[in-house]
Amino acid sequence: MKRIITAVILLLACSTAARAQQAGRCDGRTADDEHYVIILSMDAFRWDLPQRCHTPTLDSLRRVGVFAETYPVFPANTFPNHYSMATGLHPDRHNIVNNGFYDRSVGREMSVFKHSDTATPGFWGGDPIWNTAERQGRTAHIYMWPGSDIEIGGRQASIWTRYTDEPSYFERADWVVASMCGEAADGRIPNLVMWYFEEPDAVMHEYGPDSDEIIPTIEHIDSALAYFFREIRRSPVFDRINFIVTADHGMAQLSKERYINLNGTLDERHIARVVSGRPLGIEVDEEYLDTAVEIIDRIGHIKAYKRDSMPEKWHYGTNRNRITNLLVVPDNGWTVEYADCDKPRDGGTHGFDPFERDMHTVFYASGPMFRKGYEQRSFQNLNIYLVLCHLLGIEPSPNDGCWEDVCDMFAEGETQPDAE
């Protein structure tokens, strides 16, 4: 979720944070159920960033709880991955196939950054965790998580906010603390809280993940987390909260020398449209499709795929309504465009093969239901949906997750939630 989105924070007055700060260990009306979970996503927080920066808070989480290196779904971009974490579905199935796409049902390009698009009926699919939870009697407060500001299947969380980058990370921490003290608008202590930081994505896009410029941002995030974990102790349910700190995707370093412009490469008479991004989407005449694949594959450092012949490991290409019939995937760290003029760039970006380690992220978890000091094997981030369902004690909706990939992180005696 990027800075170009602007909106107004809804339903939670700023004064709640001030009241919480004055109250010491705050009182609040607790939910009947004793399951509580708070999950934070730090956009593009690559797996190796704590090794380069001073992050005592994250280091402490790793020592006292569970740590894993997770990998994203394809494409490794912000909205597809946040919504996969929320639904347990691959983008092909939950409909958010990229941050932007051409939708044949409406006959135009649509963007996750335009509220008029995201509010279109049918834009979102699947059953996001806040709806799964609320339908089964839990309470959810969602702060800026992609998809949470729109009714999906006729439902929303009890409290939600639209994205804006104006509140500081410390202010966002105050929202969560206020919620867990029963000081939000509904007066409930929610079973589920989800919140979001747009960094370090923005700074790494500008400077790249290998730059020293990103270090102050990482350390600022860690200090905001230190503040949060200090303040959250005032919640009357603190001892029963399970915490997760994770991210949607990683980031690769770009170079102006690793740039390919496909303009003029293909016969434009056979091109219906080009959808920019990673992957680069091109809609071509069916009779020209094989020829286009052969031409592109001769270039090097990029690979062309027919929509119906994508690698099985990506689980991508069956959503014919929103995916072009030709997709161009660059090698990790390469830029491919179809533009009127060359626009080589450096800095950083994502959207590459999720199995490239540059795309991998962090997963920290601690609390009464997690093992202590446990290194979990890597897993795909859509399984976070199953983790959340288990922590909340609810039945998952149909999903693409694999319980065996995440079941070992839980403390002895924890069992699998029932699944449909």
Q: Cβ(173)–Cβ(235) under 8 Å? A: no
For residue 27, name the pLDDT band (cuts at 50, 70, 90).
very low
Task: Residue 6: count other Cβ atoms within 10 Å of its Cβ.
Answer: 12
Least confident range of 44-58, 133-147, 401-415: 401-415
Per-residue model confidence as pLDDT tens digits over 36-89: 999 999 999 999 999 999 999 999 999 999 999 999 999 999 999 999 999 999
Q: Nearest to residue 194, comparing CAs of 158, 233, 220, 235?
A: 158
DSSP codes, 39-100: EEEETT-BTTHHHHS--HHHHHHHHHSEEEEEE-PSS--HHHHHHHHHHS--HHHHS--SSE
CA 64/CA 138 separation, integer angstroms? 27
Amino acid letter, 60: S
Could you give the percent of the chain with pLDDT greater than 70? 90
Q: pLDDT at position 412, please?
A: 74
- The SS3 assignment for 291 reads helix
DSSP codes, 300-350: SSEEEEEGGG--GGG--S--TTTS-SEEEEEPTT-EEE--SS-----SEE-
Q: What angle do CA 316, 107, 113 make, to 5 degrees?
A: 65
3-state secondary structure 338-376: CCCCCCCCCCEECCCCCCCHHHCEEEEEECCCECCCEEC
Average pLDDT over residues 274-288: 97
For residue 34, name the pLDDT band (cuts at 50, 70, 90).
confident
- The SS3 assignment for 185 reads coil
CA 337/CA 173 separation, integer angstroms? 39
CA 102/CA 107 separation, integer angstroms? 7
Average pLDDT, the chain: 91
Per-residue model confidence as pLDDT tens digits over 112-135: 999 999 999 999 999 999 999 999
Amino acid letter, 180: M
- Residue 13 pLDDT greater than 70, yes or no: no
358: left (phi over 0), alpha (psi -120 to 50) or beta: alpha
**Structure-token pair, residue 51:** 């090794």
Q: pLDDT at position 410, please?
A: 98
Per-residue model confidence as pLDDT tens digits over 160-193: 999 999 999 999 999 999 999 999 999 999 999 9
Which whole-number Å values give the CA distances from 18 to 173, 183, 311, in the listed order?
12, 10, 52
CA 172/CA 13 separation, integer angstroms? 12
In CATH, what class is 259-345?
A: alpha beta
- Residue 149 pLDDT greater than 60, yes or no: yes
Q: Where are the domains of the chain?
A: 15-253+354-409, 259-345
CA 99/CA 31 separation, integer angstroms? 36
Task: Residue 216: count other Cβ atoms within 10 Å of its Cβ.
Answer: 11
Average pLDDT over residues 22-41: 62
CA 344/CA 238 separation, integer angstroms? 49
Chain centroid offset of residue 224 CA: 20
Q: 15-253+354-409 and 259-345: same fold?
A: no
For 235, residues 6+ apart whose C-beta sits below 8 A from its C-beta are 25, 26, 28, 177, 180, 181, 189, 241
For residue 413, name the pLDDT band (cuts at 50, 70, 90).
low
CATH 3.40.50.720 describes domain 15-253+354-409? no
Q: pLDDT at position 112, please?
A: 97
Per-residue model confidence as pLDDT tens digits over 205-260: 999 999 999 999 999 999 999 999 999 999 999 999 999 999 999 999 999 999 99
pTM for the predicted model, two decimal places: 0.91
Q: pLDDT at position 195, please?
A: 98
- Give 11 or 336, the one with higher predicted confidence: 336
Strand partners, 30: 189
For residue 327, name the pLDDT band (cuts at 50, 70, 90).
very high
- Residue 25 pLDDT greater than 70, yes or no: no
- Residue 22 pLDDT greater than 70, yes or no: no
CA 286/CA 264 separation, integer angstroms? 19
